[in-house]
Structure formats: structure tokens, C-alpha cells
Structure 1
Amino acid sequence: MAVLRDAGTLLRLRGFRRLLAVRLLSQSADGVYQIALAAYVVFSPERQTSAAAIASAMAVLLLPYSLVGPFAGVLLDRWRRRQVLLHGNLLRAALAAATAALIVAEVPDWLFYLSALSVTAVNRFILACLSAALPHVVADERQLVTANALSPTAGTIAATAGGGLVFALRLTGWESDAGVVLLGAAVYLGAALTALRLGRDQLGPRGLIRIRFGAAVAGTARGLLDGLAHLSRRRPAARALAAMALMRFCYGALTVMVLMLCRYAWTGDGTEGPVDETNAAAGLSLLGLAVALSGAGYFTAAAITPWAAGRLGPSGWITACALAAAVLEPALGLTFAPVPVLTATFFLGLTTQGAKIATDTVIQSTVDDAFRGRVFSLYDMLFNVAFVGAAGLAAVILPPDGRSALLVGLVALLYGATGLTLHRFRAAT
């Protein structure tokens, strides 16, 4: 009841509602776009898919952002964040439309991935901006905890709903991947127009530094070092960030495993290579169920995290999430059967999102606003590197059908080590 009461208080804040609307539209478009790409790249019957191919695609789409992420952080601390939300979503609408055109034209894969990479790079920029802006539309730290439970989780659920729309369209017989990508472009445009309802200076940063783009980029190295130095003086934020990166690594490895199980082990003959259209559709349906269950886990995390973080503290809740995942992941995952593994997607969605909400809160409450954009961009950069690194590990370990007790065991050990290390730090302080 207290969570619902706090959420009701937040939703009465006009600035919070408008920022939330931008997030919901933006991330629902992400869901449409990303699942449309997954359907095109992984589940097209004519395409041969392996763990290595999935890892390569993730590297192409995500790793370059690891280079531009720090630049984005410096600019987020120098540009009006409302304008970033407006122009960033306009740019994504145009780039998504270009991706649709490339799908129709059947261009070489590298050109298709270049277009998709551009959308993904702007996407991470937008998410960092949304997180850095959130403290400007709430009144105090208690509201900030609830806002971090409600806003990012609602965005994740919106992304899940957007992906669910793609699955629904595919089940009704809509086979045009380009048409679905165009739908995502239209929703990006809606997010940009919604950003206009926020004031130009409403989202900060405070004490806006007016500086030309070239000068801002030239000062990136110094700004990044300043951000890292600031983070080093905020030990709780640094520890939470490291723990979240490790949990993201675990989640990334398991994501590739579930993709391979859906594509081959649960629908095909257990070998790589083309499968018929019936098996490809069945695999896509199972992936849709996994996404839905993970989304339900995110929703549950949003409901219980304010209470749990209030009882245990944000760091204690991250510890509890890591240790719970260390136990549940091997207990359910080692069966490699659909029902237990899909059940695990719910619990891992809960623990991953619960830890993320707590991490966001720690960073927002301990990092100065002047550095917050840089720190959140570094946060996103770590997310991408961890996810791609996990996909690379999965590509080395996973057999063609996706069943690997070794991968499940390694992930469980990493979850456990993360939780125990955090517990040791908390006990020492």
C-alpha cells in the first residue's frame, strides 16, 4: 500500500508524468525495433544462426557505443536534456525508417548492421539522459527511490509490450519485418513530440555550460577522468555499478543460451542450420513467452524493490538479488527443459531489475548532478561491454543446441561471488 501511495504521489507531479510518457513511448519503440531485428536476424528460416553469429551481431550493435558513451556523458552535462530527448528521438525515427528501407532492399549484412548500430547508439544516449533527468522531476530522495522503481521498470515493461506487439503481429500472419520497423519509427516520432511538453530547461543540467560541439568533444578525455575521479570518491556508487555490471554479464550469457534453446533445442532437431518455417515460428513464440515472463519479473521488481530496499538498504537489496539468482539459476536452468528455464527468466528478470533499481538510486543519490550524465553514460557503457563479453563467452562454451551445464555453473558462481563480495563490504562498514 505504501508503494502504491508513493506511486500515486509521483503521478500527480506534472513533470514526472511527462518525462515518464517520453520514456514509455521511447522504450516501446525500442521493443518493436529490437524484436523486429531479432525476428529478421535470428528466426528467419533461411538464415543460419549460431551462438557465435548472435555474439557477433551483439558486438557490432553494442561495442561501438562503448567508445561514444563517454562522449555522450560529457554532452549530457552540457546540453539541455529536454533537447536531447527531442532531437535524439527524431534522429532514431529517421534511422529506423532507413533500416526498414535496407531490409526491403536486401543489402549486405554489414550495411544493415551499420544502420541498426546507429539506432542502438542513440538509444543508449537517450536512456542515460532519462536517468540523469529523473531527479529534476521529483521532490526528495524517498520519491527518487520510488521513481527509480516505477519509471525505468515501466519503461522496460513498455519495451516488453512493444516486443509483444511484434510477436502478436507475426502470429496474425504479418510477415513484413520492414513494416514492423517502420511502426517503431512512428513511435519514436511520437516520443520526440511528447518531449516538447517538457520545459527546455526543466531537466537540467543546472549551471548549463554553453560550449560548441567541437570544444565539448575536445574536452571529453578530461571530463571523463573527472567523472571517474568523482566516482572513485563515491565508493557506494562504484561498488553498486561494479555489481550491476557483473549481474548484467550473467544475464547476457543466459540470454544467448535461451535464444539458442528457443531456436533449436525446443523446436528443431538440435543442430545448427536452417529450420522450416513451422519450427522458426514455434521458436519465435517461445522467445515471446520468455520475454513476457521476464517482463513480469521486471514488474514484480518494481512493486517490491521500494519495500525491500527500505528494509535492507539499496546495497543490501542488490546483495540479496545476486545471492537469490545464484541459487535459482542452476536449480532451474540445469534441466534445459522449457518450463523450468522459462520460469527462471521470470526470477532473473526480477533479480536483475531489482538490482538495477537499487543501483540507479545509489548513483543518483550519491553522485553530484554536474557529473551525473557522465556517470550514467559510463554505466551504460559497462552494460554493453558486459553483455557483449557474456555473449562472446557463450559463443565459446555453448553447443549448437544451447544446452551447457558448464555455462550455467559458471554463471551461478559469478552471481554468488558478486553477492558475497557485496555482503563483505557491507559488513566491513
Structure 2
Amino acid sequence: MSVTYRQVFQIGEFRALFSSMIVSVAGDQFARVALSLLVFDRTGSAGWTAATYALTYLPSVLAGPLLSGLADRWPRRQVMITADLLRAALVALMAIPGLALPLVAAVLVLVQAAGAPGNAARAATAAAALPGEQYVLGKGVLDTIVQLSQVVGFATGGTLVGGAGPATALLADAGSFLVSAAVIRLGVRERPAPNATGTGAAVGAGGLVRWRRDLVDGSRLVTRTPRLRALVALAAVAGFYVTVEGLAAPYAAQIGGSADAVGVLLAASPAGAVLGMALISRLRPQLRSQLLGPLAMAACVPLVVCLARPGLVVTVVLWLLSGVASAYHLPASAEFTLTVPDQHRAQAYGLAATVLMTSQGLGIALAGLAATVVAPSAALAGAGGLGVVAAGLAGAAWNRARRATPAE
């Protein structure tokens, strides 16, 4: 029997996770805009503004693998609540008028690091609350909300922050974390820690040894399990087609587009991803599994066509199609989460998320470097061509692993 969205939303825990994510993600987007305006207003430097914005992403690369395992060692509802309360306090601290910018940057790093175990706990809790196909559909809803919240937050953030002021926006973000913590406290069921052995000794030398062991065990689990290894490789393909975000502005200039064209191009891929997730979540599980490799390749092919420098309309369609195909991340991520034993789920999630973010960051950076030597259209085409090859190899590895160890 097929699962429906109505059935998913009838589950109280999912409604709580859904509501808390809407509040916190929207608040985060306003805060990013507020910090950018705050730093630019004080320094007048585009470089400092960009560096501060980059700090909203970079800490997760380290915090993902290092801190996500806390959500396996401690009760996950407690981890989510604690992370939200800690971030609320830290964001409120950044709103203090006249706070030195180096201190703002340091606090920002702590805010982002604190989010890693909370996000891992949320992902693992969703898998526990939504069994089987319900999880695939529910995760599609949560991923779609993240995409839409980012688009809406960036689109309206400048106007709202300009009217209310950066400090007020930061306080509103702090309030969003408090609301999120309250929703989790009231709506999510308390479960014991899945890997609770020795939890009480999670501090001191013994806690450090257990933390290191959890990190090593989670890394070994991912690297030594063919299914998980192939799924992580498929996720890393994003580093090739995400290059459209970094090269949207120079590519728009190359094809004669205006400043408005950059916004349209940037919106095409996430809009396609939302559409793709809605479509792929309705496919049969076996078909979804078979399509992971082909869709990863299809997400890269439109970039190759950019070598011909088609007009704005054609490029928007191409990037939209790339976004639709990129929705393979939804079933791939669901496969990954459900394959990992519950006691290692948060740690493995943190590792996989770090690989994804690192591949995206490197992809954009390398494509930008290439675009200083060749035309942006050629850099995009090169990234697309390499992505097709990488996706083909990752898809072949996935098919071998899938046939050797069918999912339970």
C-alpha cells in the first residue's frame, strides 16, 4: 500500500520535527542576511562580509564528524533541545550593540558547531518516528522545507532586516531557536540513547576515549560497508553540478544577462530540486534505487551543454532540469540512514553530511579557479563532464553493492 502525505502528517512527532525545522531554518536565513549587513555596515569591506558569511558554513565541516556522535551517546530529544537553547543564547549574544567583530566571528563559529549534533539528532529521530516508506516521504517534506525556507529567507531577508535592523533580526533568530526547543520538548517522544553504554562517564578521560571510539567506529562502518560507501560517493557528485551557484554571475555576464538574470539562474536549480523531490518520492522503492546512478549523471549533463552558451531561457531550463535530477539525494540519503544501525546513525549522518558539504565547497572553489583561466561556460562544461564520469563510477559501485546486499 502506498504511503500518503496525510499519513505522514498524522504522526505527531513528524509534525513537531517539521514545525521546529521551519522556524529554525527561516530564522537562520534572516540571521545570515543580518550578519552580512552588520559586518558591511561596520567595515565597508566586501571581503570581511564574504568571510563572515562563509563562517556560517565552514564550522560544520569539522563539527559534523566530531560532534554528531553525541546524538548516539545521549537521548536525541535532549540533544536537540540543548543545541537549540545553546544556539539561542549565542545568537542573542551576537546582537549586543558594539560587540567586537572578532568576537562576533568566534561566537558564530560556536553557533554553527552547536548545530551539528542537533541536526544529526533530528535526522536520526525522523528515521525512528517514520518507519520504512513513511521516512522517505517525510524526509522529502523536510528537505523541501529547507529549500523553500532558504529561498524565501534570502528573498525577503534583506527587506525585513533593513526595516528592523540587524540586532532585531538576530534576536528574532534567537527566539526561533527557543520556539524550536519548545516544540521538540512538547512534540517529540523521549527515547533512551541508542548507544548509551557508559553515557554517564561522557566527560573526562573516559568520555574522550569513548568519543574517539565512536568516531572511529562510525568512520569504519561507512568506509567498509559497500552500500554506504557507494551512497556517500553518489552524494559527493554534488560537488560537480553545484558549481552553477559559484559561476552564475560570471556566466550570466558571458551570455549577456543582466544582474536580474543572476537571481533567476540561482533560483533555477533549487526550484528544480523541489519539483524533483516531489516526483521521486512517489516512485516505487525498487525503481528509485535503480535510478540513483542515472539521475546523478543526468544532474551533470546540462552543465556540459553550457559550453555552447545558450541564451538565458535555455540555460534556466537546463539548470532547472539539473535540479530535478539532483533530487536523487532524497532516496540516496534515506537509503543511507536506514542502512546504518540506529546506535551509529547520528555519527554516520555527520560524516556523510561533511563529505557532501566538503565536495560542494571544493567544487565551487575549483570551478571558480578554473574560470580565471578559461571562460565560465568552459569551466561549467568541464565540471559537468567530470561529474558525468564520477557519477557513472559511483552509480556502478552502488549497483554492485545493491545486488550483493539487498536492503532489508
* Range of TM-score over shorter length: 0.7 to 0.9
Please tell me whether residue 132 in structure 1 is matched to residue 87 in structure 2: no
Please tell me whether residue 409 in structure 1 is matched to residue 357 in structure 2: no
State which of 6, 9, 23 in structure 2 corresponds to 1:8: 6
Report the CA distance between 1:184 and its aligned residue.
2.3
Q: Secondary structure at the match of 2:73?
A: coil
Does the Cα contact within 8 Å between 2:27 and 2:173 map onto a contact in 1? yes
Partner residue, 2:324: 350
Partner residue, 1:72: 67
Task: Show CA shifts across 1:161-203 (max 9, x none).
Answer: 3333314537xx638344333332222222122111134624x
- Distance of aligned partners of 1:292 and 1:185 in 2 relative to their CA distance in 1, 3 Å threshold: farther
Q: Which runs of 5+ in 1 are unaligned?
A: 269-281
State which of 364, 371, 375 in structure 2 corresponds to 1:398: 371
Q: Which amino acid in 2 is paired with 1:213? A: V
Partner residue, 2:89: 94
Write out aligned runs for 1:300-339 (5 A).
Answer: 300-308=275-283, 310=285, 312-314=287-289, 316-332=290-306, 335=309, 338-339=312-313
Does the Cα contact within 8 Å between 2:69 and 2:347 map onto a contact in 1? yes
Please tell me whether residue 256 in structure 1 is matched to residue 246 in structure 2: yes
Report the CA distance between 1:149 and its aligned residue.
1.6
RMSD, aligned α-carbons: 3.6
Q: TM-score, normalised by structure 2?
A: 0.83
Partner residue, 2:397: 425
State which of 98, 112, 126 in structure 2 corresponds to 1:105: 98
Partner residue, 1:34: 32
CA distance in 2, matches of 1:181, 1:338: 36
CA distance in 2, matches of 1:72, 1:236: 24
CA distance in 2, matches of 1:183, 1:291: 27
CA distance in 2, matches of 1:404, 1:259: 9
Partner residue, 1:271: none
Write out aligned runs for 1:51-200 (5 A).
Answer: 60-101=55-96, 105=98, 107-108=100-101, 110-138=102-130, 140-169=131-160, 174=163, 176-199=165-188
CA distance in 1, matches of 2:196, 2:324: 37
CA distance in 1, matches of 2:22, 2:318: 26
Report the CA distance between 1:359 and its aligned residue.
1.9
Partner residue, 1:272: none
- Distance of aligned partners of 1:390 and 1:26 in 2 relative to their CA distance in 1, 3 Å threshold: same
Does the Cα contact within 8 Å between 1:73 and 1:377 map onto a contact in 2? yes
Does the Cα contact within 8 Å between 2:20 and 2:180 map onto a contact in 1? yes
Count the aligned residue pairs: 398
- Distance of aligned partners of 1:266 and 1:168 in 2 relative to their CA distance in 1, 3 Å threshold: farther
State which of 211, 232, 235 in structure 2 corresponds to 1:244: 235
CA distance in 2, matches of 1:288, 1:167: 14
Q: Using the aligned pairs only, state the percent identity.
A: 20
